[in-house]
Amino acid sequence: MAKSVRLIDSTLRDGSHAMAHQYTSDQVRNIVKALDDAGVGTIEISHGDGLGGSSFQYGFSKEPELDLIKVAAETVSKSQLAVLLLPGIGTREDLREAEKYGVKVARIATHCTEADISQQHIGLAKDMGMEAIGFLMMAHMVSPEKLLEQARLMEKYGADSVYVTDSAGALTPDGFRARVRALVEGLGVPVGVHAHNNLQSAVANSLAAVEEGAAIVDGCCAGLGAGAGNAPLEIIAAVMTREGYDIGGVDWFKLVDATETTVRPIMPRQQIIDGPALTLGYAGVYSSFLLHAERAAKRFDVDPREILLECGRRKLVGGQEDMLVEIAFELAQQKAATTN
């Protein structure tokens, strides 16, 4: 019997970063319909930084987040909707409001050393009858053993599954395998993976993870996501099918059609691994920093790669986007001093 792999699409959540959070209701409706038709069982939608993320710090959404969730809920016929929530950005009330619109899956995300702050939100999700998924972000920053310790906390709080989340796209297959193996062997719940493509390893990492026992794999159509993007879901579906895995009725032909006709035409730019995106993976920097770094670089006339390298040296994590302006200013001062 073929091993089952559950695919979750994040085009309307992680893809929000690459869209500068400017999704419209019509775009959401079209993408949800295409994914639903392709048999994708779970579709994630929210601001790129999760519920409540629309702000000066992270970037304002073009349309209110709950309006987009409502459109998605009115469009799906077979799929279920998921949202991301980062404690400290989103609140329990945000999660309650999303659940009222029919959201069935809550993905509760913390930094890889801060699983303890997820307890209330995982608990609330379970109290409301939702599926609760624990997300351990920036997983490259700790050892497999430390990641397992944090994953066990999420499992203890009631998470139905826990993710190895390579937010920086900094892991290569060996490191990804080790972290997935640790969680698969040490947890009693399924393990999921979420890979970014800054080192062009997202598909290879996802396949390696499944070989190690991961049961859930994230992706985005055309890889649309933060940094150089995520594992392209249409490629993940094709690769998993080719390798003999059961992907739960997902039609990868239809996923390719959804990508080509619905997602690619609205992308501000195609997902490529240019210098700044590659630097994200090399330096181990949070993928959503890319557009923030490019804006700061333009403002202060400095190289965005230098900003990102300094972010890596300082070990910045999600939530510290404001620091990029400070770094860019400091680099501009250094550049001026050297020139003079």
Percent of the chain with pLDDT over 90: 87
Contact of 44 with 12, CB cutoff 8 Å: yes
Taking residues 304-309, report their average pLDDT.
92
CA triple 279-320-131, angle to 5 deg: 95
- Does 277 fall in a domain? no
- Does 70 fall in a domain? yes
pLDDT of residue 259: 97
- The model's pLDDT over 164-209, given as tens digits with 9 standing for 90+, comes to 999 999 999 999 999 999 999 999 999 999 999 999 999 999 999 9
What does the alpha-carbon distance between residue 234 and residue 241 come to, in Å, rounded to a whole number? 11
Taking residues 130-142, report their average pLDDT.
97
Which residues does the annotation mark as catalytic? 17
What does the alpha-carbon distance between residue 4 and residue 299 come to, in Å, rounded to a whole number? 48
pTM of structure = 0.92
With a cut of 80, say whether residue 318 has pLDDT above it: no
Strands 131-137, 42-45: pairing kind: unpaired
- Does 280 fall in a domain? no
Contact of 308 with 277, CB cutoff 8 Å: no
What does the alpha-carbon distance between residue 85 and residue 323 come to, in Å, rounded to a whole number? 22
With a cut of 90, say whether residue 25 has pLDDT above it: yes
From 265, 300, 317, the end of a domain falls on 265
99 and 234, same domain (yes or no): yes
- Range name among 23-27, 170-174, 188-192, 307-311 with the lowest pLDDT average: 307-311
Structure tokens at 120: 């209330």
192 and 329, same domain (yes or no): no
pLDDT band for position 1 (50/70/90)? low
pLDDT band for position 103 (50/70/90)? very high
171 and 218, same domain (yes or no): yes
Give the 3-state DSSP-derived string for the chain, with helices as H, strands as E and coil as C: CCCECEEEEEEECCHHHHCCCCCCHHHHHHHHHHHHHCCCCEEEECCCCCCCCCECCCECCCCCHHHHHHHHHHHCCCCEEEEEECECCECHHHHHHHHHCCCCEEEEEEECCCHHHHHHHHHHHHHCCCEEEEEEECHHHCCHHHHHHHHHHHHHHCCCEEEEEECCCCCCHHHHHHHHHHHHHHCCCCEEEEEECCCCCHHHHHHHHHHCCCCEEEEEHHHCCCCCCECEHHHHHHHHHHCCCECCCCCHHHHHHHHHHHHHHHCCCCCCCCHHHHHHHHHCCCCCHHHHHHHHHHHHCCCHHHHHHHHHHHCCCCCCCCHHHHHHHHHHHHHHHHHC
249 and 334, same domain (yes or no): no
With a cut of 80, say whether residue 58 has pLDDT above it: yes
**CATH number for position 303:** 1.10.8.60
Residue 86 CA, distance from chain mean position: 12
In the chain, how many domains are there? 2
121 and 222, same domain (yes or no): yes
- Better-predicted residue by pLDDT, 200 or 319: 200
With a cut of 70, say whether residue 92 has pLDDT above it: yes
What does the alpha-carbon distance between residue 238 and residue 234 come to, in Å, rounded to a whole number? 6
181 and 329, same domain (yes or no): no
Token pair 């939608």 is found at: 45
74 and 115, same domain (yes or no): yes
- Does 305 fall in a domain? yes
With a cut of 80, say whether residue 340 has pLDDT above it: no
pLDDT of residue 320: 82
From 265, 280, 306, the end of a domain falls on 265
- Does 278 fall in a domain? no
179 and 303, same domain (yes or no): no
**CATH number for position 25:** 3.20.20.70
**Cα dist from 46 to 23, 134, 136, 228, whole Å:** 10, 16, 18, 20
211 and 150, same domain (yes or no): yes
Q: Amino acid identity of 309? A: L
With a cut of 80, say whether residue 2 has pLDDT above it: no
- Better-predicted residue by pLDDT, 334 or 250: 250
- The model's pLDDT over 259-286, given as tens digits with 9 standing for 90+, comes to 999 999 999 989 999 999 999 999 999 8
111 and 244, same domain (yes or no): yes
- Does 272 fall in a domain? no
Domain limits at 323?
A: 288-339
- Does 271 fall in a domain? no
257 and 333, same domain (yes or no): no
Taking residues 112-128, report their average pLDDT.
97
- Does 279 fall in a domain? no
313 and 224, same domain (yes or no): no
pLDDT of residue 337: 84
